[in-house]
Amino acid sequence: MHDRFVYFDLGNVVVKFDHAIATRQLAELAGCSLAASQYALYDSGLEIRYETGLVNSAEFVADINRQLGTSLSEACVLEAVSAIFEPNAEILKGLEHVRASGVGIGLLSNTCEGHWEWLKKRHWAAVKGWFNPIVLSYEARLMKPDAAIYLYCEQRCGISGSQIFFTDDRADNIAAAAAQGWGTYQFGSTEGLIAAFDAWRASSQ
């Protein structure tokens, strides 16, 4: 059993992504404007509902088809909106450094079923075998920066407060973790992460 724990965010920490790619790819698939695609995916609130587990993949695609007046297949839509990621090769140094210290490593991500299933099929070193537990918003039905998801993460790893360290690229998610007493680093670089982690580890001993 670990006495300290580190949670990593997924998007723009472990992997890189760009929502604009999803908007463009869906527009191309549906033969619609970028504005219509943007609204259907994001401005309508559909993506948030999907990431919170309020709709499943079939319901997500049905809503896309309803909004755009299309009859696109589930597989095609999920590929269009999920093929937006690329590996962050630099993060491997950070993952290796944290694991070598002997602390536990978990994943805490606001993500949806389609994105996670797509990522699981990639042969990328950073998404294989590092994390336990894996806390995903669509499964937990909670999203950062809601305080409840941080409490849920504490329950999952069996550790709480200052004995947990968290890195995320978004300031609001970092602020919520800090309010829970966690050590934090707003991700900017792997070198910065390592330095912040080492400082936290020294102070939390």
Digit-coded pLDDT (tens) for 1-43 = 678 999 999 999 999 999 999 999 999 999 999 999 999 999 9
Query: Do 101 and 168 lie in a common domain?
Result: yes
Query: Do 99 and 198 lie in a common domain?
Result: yes
Query: Which residue, 42, 62, 82, sits at the end of a domain?
Result: 82
Instruction: Please give the full DSSP string across the chain, using - where no structure is assigned.
Output: --SSEEEE-TBTTTEEE-HHHHHHHHHHHHT--HHHHHIIIIITSHHHHHHTTSS-HHHHHHHHHHHHT----HHHHHHHHHTTEEE-TTHHHHHHHHHHTT-EEEEEE---HHHHHHHHTS--GGGSS--SSEEEHHHHT--TT-HHHHHHHHHHHT--GGGEEEEES-HHHHHHHHHTT-EEEE-S-HHHHHHHHHHHHHHT-
Query: Which pLDDT value is given to residue 205?
Result: 66
* pLDDT tens readout for residues 160-182: 999 999 999 999 999 999 999 99
Domain extent at residue 158: 5-16+86-203
Query: Which pLDDT value is given to residue 1?
Result: 60
Query: Do 103 and 158 lie in a common domain?
Result: yes
- Domain total for the chain? 2
- Asked if residue 188 has pLDDT above 70, the reply is yes
**Mean pLDDT of the 181-188 span:** 98
Query: Which residue, 59, 82, 105, sits at the end of a domain?
Result: 82
Query: Do 59 and 154 lie in a common domain?
Result: no
Mean pLDDT score across all residues of the chain: 97
Query: Do 46 and 63 lie in a common domain?
Result: yes
Query: Which pLDDT value is given to residue 204?
Result: 74
Query: Do 71 and 99 lie in a common domain?
Result: no
pTM given for the model: 0.95
* pLDDT tens readout for residues 127-151: 989 999 999 999 999 999 999 999 9
Of the chain, the percentage scoring pLDDT greater than 90 comes to 97
Query: Do 104 and 163 lie in a common domain?
Result: yes
Query: Which pLDDT value is given to residue 2?
Result: 73
**Mean pLDDT of the 70-80 span:** 98
Query: Do 36 and 51 lie in a common domain?
Result: yes
Query: Do 23 and 115 lie in a common domain?
Result: no
